[in-house]
Amino acid sequence: MKKYLFFLLIIVFLSTSACSTISENDSKKHSSLNSKPIQVNDSENETIKDALKKAIIDTYSIIKGNTEILKIKKYAQGYLVLVLRQGESGGIAIYYVEEKEGRNFIANGVAGGDAAMSMGFGVNRLVLGNDTIFFCNLNDSTWIPENDTRKETNYARIVFDFDDGNTIEEKVENDKGYILIYNGVVNVKDMKLYNADNELVNVYKDVGATKEVDYRLLNSQ
């Protein structure tokens, strides 16, 4: 009887360890990649920001008007750069820029998306390999249809719920846009956008749809 109990305890221990390992691996698999954006407050990172902007403008000579970088995130061997263009050929786009030797930056591809409209946010979805990238600019105000007025958004964080059951929070305080990189191919099931006072400002159904975008390689048509 004692021998039987001894083997039973071993089986329970091994089963518990295996479940713990699977849970940990699953959590890592579905986590957001490179969740911390590059901060552009100090002089060194301002230089990086300027270099990225120059690489994009130099590569895509068709860009006209003002080009404003809204968000930067490390990705793969380079950076994802969220850009808002004003004027002719204006709109929102995300660029992949690689850093070569000697701090030389080269833009390798671009995906154009829909800019935020009256609700103050939007959702663009780009699949690169096994990663899903969501991005858009964020406006200072949102439309209140009940009385046809506008309200300041003051977005501070976005909570994404995906169709695989996972949830990820992205901080966007004082940011003009967001980039969320997810390790896996998923769709947005719901989004909740909160302000700095933790008040719910918008939800996904306010825009009601995701814009599917394609990635265009450098010099491709």
CA-CA-CA-CA dihedral for 211, 123, 98, 183, to nearest 10: -100
- CA-atom Rg of the chain in angstroms: 21
pLDDT in tens, 110-163: 999 999 999 999 999 999 999 999 999 999 999 998 898 999 999 999 999 999
Indicate the domain borders of the chain.
32-217
Residue 140's pLDDT is: 95
Three-class SS of the chain: CHHHHHHHHHHHHHHHHHHHHHHHHHHHHCCECCCCCCCCCCHHHHHHHHHHHHHHHHHCCCCCCCEEEEEEEEECCEEEEEEEECCCCCEEEEEEEEEECCCEEEEEEEEEECCCCCCCCCCEEEEECCEEEEEEECCCEEEECCCCEEEECCEEEEEEEECCCCEEEEECCCCCEEEEEEECCCCEEEEEEEECCCCEEEEHHHCCCCEECCCEECCCC
pLDDT in tens, 44-75: 455 778 888 888 877 766 555 677 889 999 99
User: By C-alpha distance, which of 108, 121, 133, 136 is closest to 202?
Assistant: 121
Cα 1 → chain centroid: 58
124-128 and 211-212: which strand pairing? parallel
Residue 116 CB-density burial (10 A; 0-12 exposed, 13-18 middle, 19+ buried): buried
Structure tokens at 63: 């860009």
Residue 132's pLDDT is: 97
pLDDT in tens, 71-87: 999 999 889 999 987 76
pTM for this model (two decimals): 0.76
Residue 214's pLDDT is: 94
pLDDT band for position 90 (cuts 50, 70, 90): low
Q: How far is it, in rounded angstroms, from Cα 13 to Cα 167?
A: 30
Residue 37's pLDDT is: 40
If one compares 57 and 220, the residue with the highest pLDDT of the two is: 57
Structure tokens at 82: 């969220």
For residue 174, pLDDT beyond 50: yes
